[in-house]
């Protein structure tokens, strides 16, 4: 099939059918204003479309109708519907970018190895898209089940968590020296190993930003084990350089999948103070770790920490063999 035709066919398949509707017609069909329809469209992260352009499908109408029904039934209000749409849009946008970039890298490696005619990406996506969709729904359900099993009896906007930042050492210098593909391999390996160790240790990866991973754990001991495991794993890796990690326990505001507040800020400040290949924490968090038989705390010199005054950071180390730490191999 002609590549252009194949692309058009796949786009129509993904959209759930041909574009036959204008935004005004979609809004009228579900009984809302054009303004509300535009709000939802923007929240989902889609680019602006003129109201009179035939750009929408029956699937768009059904999605809008489903969202409107949740609000009209009183389950959520409009502001919450917009917030949830924004979370969905930003997450799936990153997901699609991540998956397609990984696929393109795979095809480039395959072409170099095989030396044959390159396979067109549209052909590969066409073969994978149904499996991707099923895995997305499966993963969402599993994560939702895990969250529901831990829900408190009532609404809770704040909680106490241990926050950790793992930061790659000399990333700026490496990003200037390495070839683009080598840098991509380094970052992907760092994020993959760190995420596996956080998950294995019962924590949660909040976000990754190139050279840094932000994670949380329910208590300081779990976070310390995760942090020490990440530090040790990167120290012996042939691709990834050392990391510096700071952890801090305290009240955390959770909103839209992210975490905020002084505890997060302190963990970030501590990370900046850590030496390559080390984990440090603050005295308050250290109190929760000091009696653990496999953790040793070593007081460091007192430092001025921006926003927190003078603190005495504590070096966190593990006793005994490294086998006590997490392993993802």
| Residue 230 vs residues 4, 14, 24, 98, 225: alpha-carbon distances, Å | 46, 39, 52, 23, 9
For residue 1, name the pLDDT band (cuts at 50, 70, 90).
low
Report whether pLDDT(251) > 90: yes
| Adjacent-strand bridge partners of 166 | 213, 245
DSSP class of 275: P
For residue 52, name the pLDDT band (cuts at 50, 70, 90).
confident
**pLDDT digits over 104-118, tens only?**
888 888 877 776 667
Residue 317 has phi, psi (to 5 degrees) of -130, 165
What's the confidence (pLDDT) of residue 298? 92
From 33-47, 119-133, 239-253, the region with the lowest mean pLDDT: 33-47
Q: What is the mean pLDDT of residues 142-162?
A: 74
**pLDDT digits over 166-194, tens only?**
999 988 888 888 888 888 888 888 888 99
Report whether pLDDT(155) > 60: no
Tell me the CA end-to-end span of the chain in Å, nearest whole number.
43
Would you kindly state where each structural domain of the chain is located, as residue ranges? 3-148, 158-324
pTM summary value: 0.73
Q: How far apart are alpha carbons 262 and 267 in whole angstroms?
A: 9
**Angle CA(238)–CA(298)–CA(261) in degrees, nearest 5?**
80
Residues ≥6 apart with Cβ < 8 Å to 107: 118, 119, 121, 124
Q: How far apart are alpha carbons 109 and 28 in whole angstroms?
A: 49
As a whole number, the mean pLDDT across the chain is: 87
Percent above pLDDT 70 for the chain: 94
What's the confidence (pLDDT) of residue 115? 64
| Adjacent-strand bridge partners of 260 | 253
What's the confidence (pLDDT) of residue 250? 95
For strand 243-255 and strand 279-281, is the pairing parallel, antiparallel, or unpaired? Answer: parallel
Bin 312: left if φ > 0, else alpha if -120 < ψ < 50, else beta: beta
What's the confidence (pLDDT) of residue 139? 92
For residue 321, name the pLDDT band (cuts at 50, 70, 90).
low
> What tokens does 45 get?
């992260």
Q: How far apart are alpha carbons 211 and 214 in whole angstroms?
A: 10
Question: Quick one: 298 exposed, middle or buried, by C-beta within 10 A (0-12, 13-18, 19+)?
Answer: exposed
Q: Which residue has the higher pLDDT, 150 or 143?
A: 143
Percent above pLDDT 90 for the chain: 39
Q: What is the mean pLDDT of residues 235-251?
A: 93
Contact 203, 226 (CB under 8 A): yes
DSSP class of 151: -
Report whether pLDDT(135) > 60: yes
What's the confidence (pLDDT) of residue 91? 87
**pLDDT digits over 187-237, tens only?**
888 888 999 999 889 899 998 887 899 999 999 999 999 999 999 999 998
**pLDDT digits over 71-103, tens only?**
999 989 988 888 888 888 888 888 888 888 888
Q: How far apart are alpha carbons 301 and 56 in whole angstroms?
A: 62
Alpha-helix runs per DSSP H in 163-300:
171-177, 180-200, 220-235, 262-273, 283-289
User: Of 37, 83, 45, nearest to 64 (Cα)?
Assistant: 37
Q: How far apart are alpha carbons 212 and 168 in whole angstroms?
A: 6
Residues ≥6 apart with Cβ < 8 Å to 170: 241
**pLDDT digits over 14-27, tens only?**
998 999 999 889 99
Contact 206, 215 (CB under 8 A): yes
Fold for domain 158-324? Alpha-Beta Plaits (3.30.70)
């Amino acid at each position: 099939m002609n590549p252009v035709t194949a692309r058009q066919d796949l786009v129509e398949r993904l959209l759930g059918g041909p574009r036959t509707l204008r935004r005004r017609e979609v809004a009228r069909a579900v009984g809302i204003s054009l303004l509300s329809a535009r709000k939802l469209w923007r929240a989902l992260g889609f680019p602006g479309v003129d109201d009179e352009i035939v750009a929408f499908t029956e699937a768009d109408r059904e999605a809008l109708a489903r969202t409107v029904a949740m609000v009209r039934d009183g389950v959520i209000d409009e502001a919450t519907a917009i917030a949830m749409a924004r979370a969905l849009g930003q997450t799936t946008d990153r997901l699609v970018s991540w998956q397609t970039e990984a696929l393109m890298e795979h095809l480039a490696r395959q072409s170099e190895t095989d030396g044959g005619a390159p396979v067109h990406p549209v052909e590969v996506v066409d073969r994978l898209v149904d499996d991707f969709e099923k895995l997305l729904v499966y993963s969402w359900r599993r994560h939702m089940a895990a969250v529901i099993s831990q829900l408190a009896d009532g609404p809770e906007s704040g909680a106490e968590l241990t926050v950790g930042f793992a930061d790659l050492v000399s990333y700026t210098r490496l990003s200037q020296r390495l070839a683009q593909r080598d840098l991509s391999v380094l970052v992907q390996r760092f994020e993959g190993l760190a995420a596996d160790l956080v998950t294995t240790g019962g924590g949660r990866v909040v976000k990754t930003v190139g050279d840094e991973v932000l994670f949380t754990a329910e208590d300081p001991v779990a976070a310390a084990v995760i942090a020490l495991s990440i530090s040790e794993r990167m120290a012996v890796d042939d691709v990834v350089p050392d990391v510096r990690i700071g952890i801090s326990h305290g009240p955390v505001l959770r909103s839209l999948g992210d975490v905020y507040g002084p505890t997060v800020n302190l963990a970030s400040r501590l990370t900046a103070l850590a030496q390559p290949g080390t984990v440090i924490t603050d005295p308050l968090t250290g109190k929760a770790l000091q009696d653990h038989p496999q953790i040793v705390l070593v007081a460091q010199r007192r430092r001025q920490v921006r926003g927190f005054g003078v603190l005495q950071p504590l070096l966190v180390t593990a006793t005994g063999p490294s086998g006590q730490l997490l392993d993802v191999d």
